[in-house]
Amino acid sequence: SKVDVPLAATLYHYMEKRQFPAAYRIASLSATASDWKNLASAALLALDTEVARKAFMRLRDHRGIDLCAIIDKQRKGNAAKAKFGAVARQASGKNQGSALLNVATQATTQSADDAVLAGVVLAYQGKYQEAATAWSRAGKVDRAIEMFSDLRMWDAAKQYSHTASAGTAQELVKRQAQWAEEVNDLSVAADTYLAAGETLKAIHIFGGQNNSAKLHELTKSTLTKSDTTELRAALGYLEKAGEYSMAKDVLMKLGDVTGLIRLNVEHKKWAEATELVHKHPEHARSVYLPYAKWLVAQDEFELAQNAYRDAGEHEAAIRVLRALAANGVVERRYADGGRQLWRLAVATLRMKGEALAREEGIDEAREEFEKTRRKADFYYAYSSIYKYTDEPFTALTPDAVFNISRYLLAWLMKEEAPHGISKTYCLFALAKQARVLGADKLARLALEKLAGFRVPPAWQEQVDLFSLSIRARPFSDNEELLPTCFRCQTTNPLLNQSGDRCVACGHIFVRSFVSFEVLPLVRFAPSYRSSPEEVLMLLRREPPPRKPKAEAIANPWASEEGPDVQRLALGGDVERVENDGVFDLDDPFTKAMLDFEPSADFTPTVATPEMLLAMDRSDVFIIEWPHAALGREYYRNMLPDVPVVLCNSCNHFFHEEDWEFAVMQKGVCPFCETKVDANYGNGSVGAMVSHELAAAEATAAAASQE
Mean pLDDT across 70-94: 55
pLDDT of residue 197: 66
pLDDT of residue 470: 82
> Contact, 388 vs 394, CB < 8 A?
yes
pLDDT of residue 166: 53
State how far the Cα of 307 lies from the Cα of 288, in Å rounded to an integer. 5
Which tens digit of pLDDT belongs to each residue from 638-683?
Answer: 999 999 999 999 999 999 999 999 888 889 999 999 998 878 889 9
Mean pLDDT across 18-32: 82
> Which has the closest alpha carbon to 542: 613, 459, 468?
613
Which three-class secondary structure state does DSSP give residue 213?
A: helix
> Contact, 554 vs 547, CB < 8 A?
no
pLDDT of residue 581: 47
pLDDT of residue 174: 62
Residue 472 has pLDDT above 70, yes or no: yes
State how far the Cα of 22 lies from the Cα of 490, in Å rounded to an integer. 149
The identity of residue 329, as a single letter, is V
Element (H, E) at 103: helix 96-124
Which tens digit of pLDDT belongs to each residue from 201-224?
Answer: 778 777 766 778 887 878 887 788
**For 167-176, 482-491, 649-658, which range has the lowest pLDDT when averaged over its residues?**
167-176
> Which has the closest alpha carbon to 343: 367, 312, 320?
320
Mean pLDDT score of the chain: 79
Residue 600 has pLDDT above 80, yes or no: no
State how far the Cα of 351 lies from the Cα of 579, in Å rounded to an integer. 53
User: E strands of 500-619, at which residues?
Assistant: 521-526, 557-561, 566-570, 605-607
Q: How many other C-beta atoms lie within 10 A of the C-beta of residue 220?
A: 12
State how far the Cα of 290 lies from the Cα of 296, in Å rounded to an integer. 10
Listed by start position, the domains of the chain span: 1-125, 396-499, 521-546+584-654+680-700
pLDDT of residue 196: 60
> Contact, 420 vs 327, CB < 8 A?
no
> Contact, 204 vs 215, CB < 8 A?
no
pLDDT of residue 521: 95
Mean pLDDT across 55-60: 83
Decide which of 547 and 554 is more confident: 547
pLDDT range class, residue 289, cuts 50, 70, 90: very high
Most confident by average pLDDT, 45-49, 131-135, 373-377: 373-377
The H-assigned helical ranges of 513-630 are 532-540, 574-580, 588-594, 609-614
Cross-strand bridge partners of residue 637: 521
Residue 455 has pLDDT above 70, yes or no: yes
Angle made by CA atoms 268, 270, 273, in degrees to the nearest 5: 110
* β-pairing verdict for 521-526 and 605-607: parallel
pLDDT range class, residue 552, cuts 50, 70, 90: very low
State how far the Cα of 205 lies from the Cα of 209, in Å rounded to an integer. 6
The H-assigned helical ranges of 151-211 are 154-161, 166-182, 186-195, 199-208
> Contact, 448 vs 413, CB < 8 A?
no
> Which has the closest alpha carbon to 145: 118, 175, 117, 124?
175
DSSP notation for 362-390 = HHHHHHHHHHHHHHHHHHHHHHHHHHHHH
The identity of residue 122, as a single letter, is L
Which tens digit of pLDDT belongs to each residue from 98-153?
Answer: 333 343 334 344 455 666 666 666 667 667 767 667 656 665 666 665 666 666 55
In angstroms and rounded to an integer, the radius of gyration of the C-alpha atoms of the chain is: 52
CA distances 138 to 43, 68, 171, Å, are 20, 20, 21
Residue 292 has pLDDT above 80, yes or no: yes
Identify the sign of the CA torsion 553, 555, 558, 564: positive
